[in-house]
Chains A and B, each alone.
Chain A
């Protein structure tokens, strides 16, 4: 029964999409047959001849009607192609605001769930062949929201450690204002970050907590989220870990997974040698 219904439904769809071509084909076949019948024999019965001529005219009309309908519908398809092109343009706009959409998620997470202030920041990085590239970043302090201007090496800082070990934490970096040299030394010796790189940091944090964000189904790491503060003792590993397992944290993971087809990725360009 189900198979019959499927067959009927398919037939109905076939007729719906191809009725004008079917009309043209039927009309052409009918007019050919009646035309041949009219041509090969001189019908003695007047009614038979009239019926044949009537059918011939009917089939020719169907053929012309089918051709006209096909042409009209094809014009409609061209219009649909135009709409598709326009929709692709709209999708392009969505692609352009991907970062804003993602940073909006981080802003909600930062403000609503974590109650972060102007001394904190959240960043998310993707693991790329070239290093860790930032996907999005949010801080209530606009200076701290700026992009890093580079990608980070795989083995550098809390990002590299969190990617490899699941998490990383540091809560006791020296004060970069009063203990500048000690701050540079710790960043270089403990976390492998060169002095020149640290000097370019727009935010010289003293407290870091980072986690690998994992695919909820396959459990493999897909990105790294880094929480930072310029104040010591501001971030709690346990509280942040808990926050990541709640709705807001999971929303960030889901965003990365569900919108990965439009996410800008260095690998997408490097595949084209760009």
Chain B
């Protein structure tokens, strides 16, 4: 299983619009990678326990990793209305020893599906995934079990 730090580092290095990599966007990109991995391989890429909270699938793990892992730096900026916005950046290039070629293929696919989407389209995509469509807010998302159910629903 890939470490969260390696998945974040790969996304920070390969996502084409780095000024968009806020904590919220990065967390949702990792959710999409975990969901795609669950659909295609029957297992998550990371060991995050996803929760459907008020703002969709979100966990604090990503923000915490960015704070404690020296490979990352959090740059605080402001939007034009003065609201704070934290961008996660790679402090120094590093390898991704825990990522397999298949992991990288899945992350590349998620990047290709999302990079040209504006925030509205991106959030719509996240909210259109089977776990968010079918599960109740504030519930834990067992992505592996939900991927199995998704396959069953499609087959029936």
Contact at A269–B130, with CB atoms within 8 Å? yes
Docked complex Cα distance between A39 and B83 (Å): 57
Chain B residues numbered 51-82 whose CB sits less than 8 Å from any CB in chain A: 54-56, 79-81
Docked complex Cα distance between A134 and B83 (Å): 35
Docked complex Cα distance between A102 and B109 (Å): 32
Number of interface residues of A (CB under 8 A): 35
Contact at B119–A89, with CB atoms within 8 Å? yes
Docked complex Cα distance between A85 and B87 (Å): 14
Minimum distance in angstroms from A38 CB to a CB of chain B: 47
Contacts of B113 in A (CB 8 A): 272-274
Chain A residues numbered 145-190 whose CB sits less than 8 Å from any CB in chain B: 146-151, 153
Tally A-B pairs: CB < 8 A.
95
Partner of A86, one of B80, B120, B133, B149: B80
Contact at A153–B80, with CB atoms within 8 Å? no
Contacts of B123 in A (CB 8 A): 92, 95-96
Interface string of A61-104 (1 = CB under 8 A from B): 00000000000000000010011011011011001101000000
Contacts of B150 in A (CB 8 A): 130
Interface string of B103-124 (1 = CB under 8 A from A): 0000001100100001110111
A264 interfacial contact with B, CB 8 Å: yes
Docked complex Cα distance between A148 and B134 (Å): 7
Contact at A274–B149, with CB atoms within 8 Å? no
Contacts of A55 in B (CB 8 A): none
Contact at B156–A131, with CB atoms within 8 Å? yes
Interface residues in chain B, defined as those with a beta carbon under 8 Å from any beta carbon in chain A:
32, 35-36, 39, 54-56, 79-81, 83, 109-110, 113, 118-120, 122-125, 127-130, 132-136, 149-150, 153-154, 156
Interface residues in chain A, defined as those with a beta carbon under 8 Å from any beta carbon in chain B:
79, 82-83, 85-86, 88-89, 91-92, 95-96, 98, 129-131, 133-134, 146-151, 153, 262-269, 272-274
